[in-house]
Structure 1
Amino acid sequence: MKKTILAVCLCIASTAVFAQKPKSQRVGLKKEFVEEITALGSKPQVKAALQTILDLEPETRKDHILLTEIPAPPFAEEVRGKQYGKMLSEIGVDSLWTDAVGNVIALRKGKSGKKKVVIDAHLDTVFPEGTDVKVRYAGDTLKAPGIGDDTRGLAIVLTVLKALNKNKIQTEADVYVIGTVGEEGLGDLRGVKQLYSKDGLKIDSHIAVDGGGVGRIVNGGVGSLRYKVTFKGPGGHSYGAFGLVNPHNALARAIHYFTVEADKFTKTGEKTTYNIGVIGGGTSVNAIPFESWMEVDMRSESPEKLKQINQLLQTAIKRGLAEENAIKRMGEDLTVDVKNVGDRPTGFLAETAPLVQRAAAVADFFGSVPMLGMSSTNANTPLSLGIPCVTIGGGGTGGNAHALDEWWYNDKGHLAIQNALLLLLAEAGFAK
């Protein structure tokens, strides 16, 4: 196999940039899974499907560009979702629908249907409405907001489906091909949370495609808590109403007390981070503001440490509120509204788990060094529920994720598509 059609696949794919770069761990491969993947990759239909992926490279590029140029800002993925559904339908699936939150779901029925396997990429980007998403070209490099994260993943999933259909490959399990909403930012994984809700699909295993190189396997979810904290007061003239409580003062105190304690707390133990990402409020230089607010992001690999740093934040907020109220000279007290705007659970799938071993064996099959790591992706939710899930990479080379000058270059990008196809077949079962 490795000496025929896939001779080119022995090169290691370059790694696209992740939004996070957590520590990685090399996988200890088990012989049984290496043998399983080698046997699967040697099947004539599978060889043909892998070749089809190479043949479809111009079409994959076309799909990639088309989808990138359809805006999919937070909470407004509908237009891109409709196009993605149309493309899935044209390729050929057994059924297609959009669920209550906007996930585009296609079902490709398996021979037995006793197992349900998902392969997904997310529809949304981090960029607000009105962002110019027209693809620009610098030689062979594609430049546009969202070109890598995660429009590349969407194009990969489409090509995997095309290769399966063209080569008439049937799986034992039912396969759900999904474009999910709400993976980024304040979307708070709402798409994948819906999939695993009481009204969801009853999924047995899940493969997400999102960033990174062929060897990069995310088997752990970095949990996060996000808050919008708003201090509120009566507001008034800076001179005439001097002595009223000032929300900005309370916010400043809260930020100071939190960051001082959080800095000490995060220096030891499992990686834990904090960030004051956005602040706002006030109307004029000569007006006491009636509100002052901030958006806070906290992340950790440890549920316990996430809980503890959250307590530091809550304590700092209360202290800032109390101290500002204590120095008022007239008027009403400040109040504070603490709104949770994001809660991504932590989770972990052991290195020895069959899905992790299969993902590692497939990456090894294509000449990459399989490396495990933690990140914040659609995998967080299933992992937190004990459902096997990994996030695999989109391949190629890319950079500046979440920036207006995001870019992606097709450096052996077909390897990531072949990687996704072979892993999906291994997990869903090749029907004889």
Structure 2
Amino acid sequence: MKKLLLLSILLFVCFYSQAQDDKKVSVQAVYKSEIEAIAKDKRVQAAFKIIQDLEPQTMKNLVELTEIPAPPFMEQKRGERFMQMMKAAGADSIWVDEVGNVLALRKGKIKGKTVVLEAHLDTVFPIETDVKVKYKGDTLYAPGIGDDTRGLTMVLTIMEAMKKAKVMTNADVIFIGVVGEEGLGDLRGVKHLFKNGNRKIDAYIAIDGGDIGRINNMALGSLRYRATFNGPGGHSWGAFGLANPHHAIGKAIDYFDTAAGAYVANGPKTSYNVGRVGGGTSVNSIPFESWMEIDMRSVSPEKLLGIERILKEQMQRALDDYNKKVKKGDLLTLNLEKIGERPSGELGENLPLILKAIAATSYFDAQPTLTRGSTDSNIPIALGVPAITIGRGGKSDNAHALDEWYINDETGALAIKLAMLILVAEAGLSN
């Protein structure tokens, strides 16, 4: 009974902490009228119908793209197929940039503004993962089928629907399949888009995440490190007494967990996680190397810097304390390498892009909710560029797991129509 009570408390705390970042909002009258006027336009209505009619093709695209493995830094094959699909959907020009992003331009009637609609090409799974889609009734099972392959198919369908319905915008629209959103990809695709003013982007709409109604306007910052303890290595019997990196890394994890646990107990929500540990060659060998990868996140840039400082201090403390006890051979050394950095940030609720997204969501009778997350939008949000991340619709779960699944219910097509309506509202419907 005590265990059940403790579990209930922990679940409540986790839910409450997440809910603190979510805020239900209502539509402003002026934007409600604007969205209704756009939605009633004959071309937009025609595009909505085309989206509905394209449902079988959208699902076919989903299965085909899902079955092309695309880990970070290995998205090329999927990118090539996505580019072919973009050509079929229709665009004024299509190209691949220096890091592998696939871009398609649809020119606007009035020069001077550029709006991006994107989803990311990569998934978290290694190249050898079985990504064959399996069917159980109306449920599709495959690693990456939701996150974010479903988003890619939405981009394609919106492109095709706008072309067939002759929906023209004032601003240029760039549709993008972005590389490197997941894991050690470290948002490299979107970072490149904004690097040194590579391209003028005035508004940024990313499709990632599940439920329709999600409007992510707050960026969850993160830092990731790889800590590597190195030693001489040797035979477990013959070289016994040499410094053992595994023993030191165990001490380091304990030190960090204790200090970081106390640090995150108060103040802005902050998390930490030792996600991967490795090293060693055999059970009867003293390892010459032991490494771990650490993920740290916070809603507060200052708090994130604080836990980063704790990590560095506790890794050094563990190294020093362990080396004091080494009686034979060389001492251990430590290499602490930053392998990922995503900035925090937050955009005000009264930005036109956000207000249009709220009104468009309400138009489809969904509850708009402002949220915080770690997505491609982190970069433009941190730079002050109007940006949101919206959901993929349908039903899905187990993202980043081998048994990830997706059901295309009535909200699937609705999410595509919603994304298009937000895009057209932000880019301006041309007369």
CA contact (8 A) 1:274 1:298 kept: yes
CA contact (8 A) 1:219 1:349 kept: yes
Q: Which residue of 2 aligns with 1:14?
A: none
CA contact (8 A) 2:220 2:344 kept: yes
Q: 1:144 deviation in Å?
A: 0.7
Q: Which residue of 1 aligns with 2:416?
A: 417
Q: What does 1:391-406 correspond to in 2, within 5 Å?
A: 391-406=389-404
Q: Which residue of 2 aligns with 1:292?
A: 290
Establish whether residue 165 from structure 1 lines up as the match of residue 163 from structure 2. yes
CA contact (8 A) 2:181 2:188 kept: yes
Instruction: Kindly provide the amino acid, as one letter, of the partner of residue 281 in structure 1.
Output: G
Q: Which residue of 2 aligns with 1:98?
A: 96
Q: Which residue of 2 aligns with 1:337?
A: 335
Instruction: Kindly provide the amino acid, as one letter, of the partner of residue 361 in structure 2.
Output: A
* TM-score (structure 2 length as normaliser): 0.94
1:367 match: secondary structure: coil
Distance 1:123 1:288 in 2: 41
Instruction: Kindly provide the amino acid, as one letter, of the partner of residue 370 in structure 2.
Output: L
Q: Which residue of 1 aligns with 2:12?
A: none
CA deviations 1:6-34 (Å, max 9, x no partner) are xxxxxxxxxxxxxx966310124322111
CA deviations 1:100-141 (Å, max 9, x no partner) are 110000000000121010000000011101111111111111
Q: Which residue of 1 aligns with 2:366?
A: 368
Q: Whose relative contact order is higher, 1 or 2, with alpha carbons under 8 Å and at least 6 apart?
A: 1
Q: Which residue of 2 aligns with 1:202?
A: 200
* TM-score (structure 1 length as normaliser): 0.93
Q: 1:286 deviation in Å?
A: 3.0
Distance 2:245 2:227 in 1: 11
Compute the RMSD of aligned alpha carbons: 1.3
Q: Which residue of 1 aligns with 2:50?
A: 52
Establish whether residue 63 from structure 1 lines up as the match of residue 64 from structure 2. no
Distance 1:283 1:163 in 2: 55
Q: 1:155 deviation in Å?
A: 0.5
2:337 match: secondary structure: strand
Q: Which residue of 2 aligns with 1:180?
A: 178
CA deviations 1:182-214 (Å, max 9, x no partner) are 000110000000100126221111000012222
Instruction: Kindly provide the amino acid, as one letter, of the partner of residue 428 in structure 1.
Output: A
Q: 1:69 deviation in Å?
A: 1.2
Q: 1:262 deviation in Å?
A: 1.1
The total of aligned residue pairs comes to 413
Q: What does 1:33-432 correspond to in 2, within 5 Å?
A: 33-198=31-196, 200-412=198-410, 413-432=412-431
CA contact (8 A) 2:89 2:157 kept: no
1:244 match: secondary structure: coil
User: Structure 1 residues 189-198 or 66-75, which shifts more?
Assistant: 66-75
Instruction: Kindly provide the amino acid, as one letter, of the partner of residue 425 in structure 1.
Output: V
2:58 match: secondary structure: helix
Distance 1:198 1:304 in 2: 25
CA contact (8 A) 2:114 2:200 kept: yes
Question: Structure 2: which 5+ runs fail to align?
Answer: 1-16
Distance 2:54 2:282 in 1: 58
CA contact (8 A) 2:361 2:368 kept: yes
CA contact (8 A) 1:222 1:301 kept: yes
CA contact (8 A) 1:225 1:340 kept: yes
Distance 1:25 1:51 in 2: 32
Instruction: Kindly provide the amino acid, as one letter, of the partner of residue 397 in structure 1.
Output: K
Distance 2:103 2:279 in 1: 41
2:160 match: secondary structure: helix
CA contact (8 A) 1:279 1:292 kept: yes
Distance 1:283 1:133 in 2: 30
CA contact (8 A) 1:27 1:351 kept: no
Q: 1:56 deviation in Å?
A: 1.1
Distance 2:250 2:313 in 1: 14
CA contact (8 A) 1:118 1:178 kept: yes
Q: Percent identity?
A: 54
